[in-house]
């Protein structure tokens, strides 16, 4: 699975993933989604936090497979 030309970029991506997570989950970005809006009966903020969370898990899983 390890291919030299891409592993450098993958490593950088692995290092930047938590940074992306911090940016999405910390104010001010998270405040955008704190609005009192509902989708299918679920508050937007709940969908957002758990959605980002799941996104991080999936991204980490994909990276871990190829790193």
Partner 1 sequence: MRSANLVLAIALVYVAVLFAVAYAGDRRARSGRLGWLQSPLVYTLSISVYCSSWTFYGAVGSAARSGLEFATIYLGPTLIFVGWWLLLRKLVRIGHLNGITSIADMISSRYGKSAPLAALVTLISVVVSMPYIALQLKAITTSFQVVGNAGPDPLAGLPIAGPDFRLGFWITVGLAIFSILFGTRNIDAKEQHPGVVAAIAFEAVVKLAALLVVGALVVWGIGGGPAAIFAHAPAELLHAPDAFGSRWITTTFLAAAAIVCLPREFHVIVVENSDERQQRTASWLFPLYLFLTCLFIVPIAIAGIAFLPAGSNPDMFVLTLPMWAGHDAVAMFAFLGGFSSATSMVIVSCIAISTMVSNHIVMPLALRLNWVRESVSGEIRGLLMSSRRISICVLLMLGFLYFRLSGSPGALASIGLIAFAGVAQFLPSLVGGLFWRHANVGGALVGLAAGAGLWAYTLLLPNFGFIVTPDVVESGLFGLAWLRPQALFGLNGMDPLVHSVFWSLGVNTFLFAAVSLAREPRPLERLQSTLFVDVFRAPADTASIVMRRTAPVQELSVLAQRILGEYEAREFFRQAAHAQNLAVDTPIADDAFITQLERKLAGSVGAASARALVSQVVTVETISLDELMKIADETQRIRAYSQELEEKSRQLGVAVERLKQLDSQKDEFLSQVSHEVRTPMASIRSFSEILRHTPDLQPEKAARFVRIINEESERLTRLLDSTLDLNMLERGEAPVDVTLIDPEVALDNSIHVCQGLVATTNVRLSSGERVAGVAVRANADRIAQVFINLISNAIKYNTSPQPQVQITSRIHDGTYEVFISDNGPGIRPEERERIFSKFVRGWAHTQTGASGAGLGLTISWQILRHLGGTLTLAENSDSGACFRVALPVSVR
By C-beta, is 5 or 61 nearer to partner 1?
Answer: 61
CB of 8 to partner 1, least distance (A): 12
Q: What is the DSSP string of 2-65?
A: --HHHHHHHHHHHHHHHHHHHHHHSTTHHHHTTSS-EETTEEHHHHHHHHHHHHHHHHHHHHHH
For partner 1, the binding residues (CB under 8 A) are 11, 14-15, 17-19, 21-22, 25-27, 30-31, 34, 36, 38, 40-43, 45-46, 49-50, 53-54, 56-61, 63-64, 67
């Amino acid at each position: 699975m390890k291919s030299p030309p891409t592993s450098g970029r993958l490593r950088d991506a692995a290092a930047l993933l938590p940074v992306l997570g911090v940016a999405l989950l910390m104010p001010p970005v998270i405040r955008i989604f704190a609005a009192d809006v509902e989708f299918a009966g679920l508050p937007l903020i709940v969908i957002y936090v758990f959605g980002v969370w799941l996104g991080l898990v999936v991204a980490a899983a994909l990276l871990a497979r190829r790193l």
